[in-house]
Amino acid sequence: MSARDQAAVVVDARQMEPPEPFVKTMEGLDELKDGEKLLLMLYREPHPLYRTLALNGYTYRASTEPDGTVEILIWKAV
Amino acid sequence: MQSLLSFDQAPPLAGPLRFFLTAPAFAAGAGLLLLLLGPGLLASRWTPGALAFTHLLTAGFMLQTMVGALLQILPVATGAGVEHPLGVARAVHGLFTGGLLLLLGGFLSFRPLYFQAAVGLFAAGLLIFLWAAGRALARVPASSPIQWALKLAAAGLAITVLLGLVLASALGFSLPWPLLQITGIHLSWGLVGWGVLLLSGVAYVVVPMFLLTPSFPGWLSRILAPGLFLALALWSGAEAAGLALAPWLGGVLMAGCGVFAGVTLWLLVRSKRARLDATHRYWRLGLGSGLAALTLLALGLLMPSLGGWNGWPLLFGVLILVGGFMSVISGMLYKIVPFLIWLHLQNAGQGQVLAPNMKKIMPESAMGRQMACHAAALALLAAAVLWPEWLARPAGAALLVSSLWLMRNLIGGVQVYRRHLQTIRGQLAASS
């Protein structure tokens, strides 16, 4: 199953200027219900976000698509 | 979402900001120097005034902003932050600033003691900076082009400052070293080994992120930094040994820098942003001016009549330093400083008080007008090389005004930060 199929919320931040991707991701994570996942799409690896997620008990899986899009699937660690 | 907005590795705001806020003062100092000394400063690149002017822009404006940017971008681009960021920033900022002031004293008075003291301060600042940045960079594998570029740029800075220390020691201790030859290698490492490599590493992150362009082509970002570093090392050896190969290697270096500038311009043209903001226009101006400088350099090397003209290296210096590096750096400051202020206000608000919109931290109209003033200063400086008697002082005045204006805009952002921080503290205290 692709990352897009697994995600309840998708934040396509490829056309957004900072800090909008971060803000939209935070808002999206707020909306997640138990067991749901969020997909963030960017053209780069968001290192500061990774640390923030880890600090706050979230797990993620990142993969790079052939067009350069980095897809980050995020969910609450159990 | 309170806990989500905490950042463990973002350096304190006062770390990078001290570099960004004081850097324009050095550029203003360069403008003031030209205003005071007038056309005599532009008689040749070797006048004491021209040497002081150049180092106010390079070891002042450029070095300060680029060190601040590197301290800031390391955790963003590589996931590894500098340890004790505030202490490192304070020490390096103080030592580099003191070293530069002594160096200026040395150029303008030619007293050996100033050069000797400048050597000590620059060497201490370099050691601390390389220790801190090196430890952070050593923790990440050089797996991406950004990390490669940042690592090689740090090495390029070390070589630039070491060659500068050699030159200042020669002047301070009257050593019989080949100053002209070492100066050429010193400035090539400064402009390419440190300047272009760091700029490229930062551009790979900042240009697609803030200017909404496609990513840099993989082939370019993979080969540019190692290729330029290798070509520069080979050119330096050939130049020092007086080999006939040196001009060819110099051509490879110029071509590499030209390809980087050309590809970046091509990406900017393909930006998805509907309206060009000050940063975008600053980048276009900087890259265009950089390409003009490279063309002038190549023509001067090919045409002895142009290369023998006293104004040729001066015009190259104006186009590459004020037109190229200063433009691009100013444009990036207009994105990085408001973003940092936003980030720290958001963090301070603990998810309960929101940070203001980025556009309210630094208004676009103020940045746009300052950018136009900088462009006018650049045009006047370039024309002043041709007509120094008429235009040297107006060009100095224009650079002074545009640099103070840049500083005013950046300080305006900090004032928004302070006001908003007080509001946040008041609201948090009221709700607790």
Secondary structure, 3-state, chain B: CCHHHCCCCCCCCHHHHHHHHHHHHHHHHHHHHHHHHHHHHHHCCCCHHHHHHHHHHHHHHHHHHHHHHHHHHHHHHHCCCCCCHHHHHHHHHHHHHHHHHHHHHHHHHCCHHHHHHHHHHHHHHHHHHHHHHHHHHHCCCCCCHHHHHHHHHHHHHHHHHHHHHHHHHHHHCCCCCCHHHHHHHHHHHHHHHHHHHHHHHHHHHHHHHHHCCCCCCHHHHHHHHHHHHHHHHHHHHHHHHCCCCHHHHHHHHHHHHHHHHHHHHHHHHCCCCCCCCHHHHHHHHHHHHHHHHHHHHHHHHHCHHHHCCCHHHHHHHHHHHHHHHHHHHHHHHHHHHHHHHHHHHHHHCCCCCCCCCHHHHCCHHHHHHHHHHHHHHHHHHHHHHHCHHHHHHHHHHHHHHHHHHHHHHHHHHHHHHHHHHHHHHHHHHHHC
Chain B residues 10-49 with CB within 8 Å of chain A: 10
List the single residue in A47, A50, A52 with the smallest CB-CB distance to B4. Answer: A52
Instruction: Give pLDDT, residue B77.
Output: 66
Pairwise CB contact (< 8 Å): A44 & B358? no
Instruction: Give domain A3-76's CATH number out of 3.30.110.40, 3.40.640.10, 3.30.1360.40, 3.90.870.40.
Output: 3.30.110.40
Highest mean pLDDT among A7-21, B126-140, B221-235: B221-235
List the single residue in A43, A47, A55 with the smallest CB-CB distance to B79. Answer: A47
Instruction: Give pLDDT, residue B355.
Output: 85
The HSE-up count of residue B320 (CA atoms within 13 Å, CB side) is 23
Pairwise CB contact (< 8 Å): B78 & A44? no
C-alpha B52 chain-centroid distance: 17
Contact A77/B at CB under 8 A = no
Q: Where residue B208 falls among pLDDT bands split at 50, 70, 90?
A: confident
With beta carbons under 8 A apart, name residues in chain A contacting B1: 26, 29-30
Residue B53 or B3, more confident:
B53
Pairwise CB contact (< 8 Å): B215 & A68? yes
With beta carbons under 8 A apart, name residues in chain B contacting A15: 212, 272
Place of tokens 């265009």: B288
Domain boundaries, chain B: 3-431
Taking 60 as the threshold, does the pLDDT of residue B7 lie above it? Answer: no
Measure in Å the smallest separation between the Cα of B340 and chain A Cα atoms.
Answer: 10
Q: Where residue B352 falls among pLDDT bands split at 50, 70, 90?
A: confident
Which residue of B lies nearest to A18 if distances are taken between CA atoms?
A: B210
Pairwise CB contact (< 8 Å): B76 & A48? yes
Pairwise CB contact (< 8 Å): B7 & A48? yes
Cα separation, A26 vs B427, in Å, equals: 22
CATH code given to domain B3-431:
1.20.210.10
Give the whole-number percent of chain B exceeding pLDDT 90. 75
- State pLDDT tens for residues B290-344: 999 999 999 999 999 998 999 999 999 999 999 999 999 999 999 999 988 998 8
Dihedrals phi, psi of A38, to nearest 5 degrees: -115, 140
Measure in Å the smallest separation between the Cα of B79 and chain A Cα atoms.
Answer: 5
H or E element that contains A5 = helix A3-6
Which residue of B lies nearest to A32 if distances are taken between CA atoms?
A: B1
Contact A68/B at CB under 8 A = yes
Instruction: Give pLDDT, residue B142.
Output: 67
List the single residue in B4, B10, B212 with the smallest CB-CB distance to A48. Answer: B10
Measure in Å the smallest separation between the Cα of B205 and chain A Cα atoms.
Answer: 8
Q: What is the mean pLDDT of chain B?
A: 92
Q: What angle do CA B132, B137, B138 make, to 5 degrees?
A: 100
Instruction: Give pLDDT, residue A53.
Output: 86
Contact B78/A at CB under 8 A = yes
Pairwise CB contact (< 8 Å): B1 & A26? yes
With beta carbons under 8 A apart, name residues in chain B contacting A74: none
Domain boundaries, chain A: 3-76
Taking 70 as the threshold, does the pLDDT of residue B427 lie above it? Answer: yes
With beta carbons under 8 A apart, name residues in chain A contacting B267: none
Contact A5/B at CB under 8 A = no
pTM of the shown model: 0.91
List the single residue in A18, A43, A55 with the smallest CB-CB distance to B6. Answer: A55
Which residues make beta-bridge pairs with A40? A11, A72
With beta carbons under 8 A apart, name residues in chain A contacting B339: 18-19
With beta carbons under 8 A apart, name residues in chain B contacting A50: 79
Give the pLDDT mean for B97-112: 95
With beta carbons under 8 A apart, name residues in chain A contacting B4: 26, 29, 52, 56
List the single residue in A15, A47, A68 with the smallest CB-CB distance to B75. Answer: A47
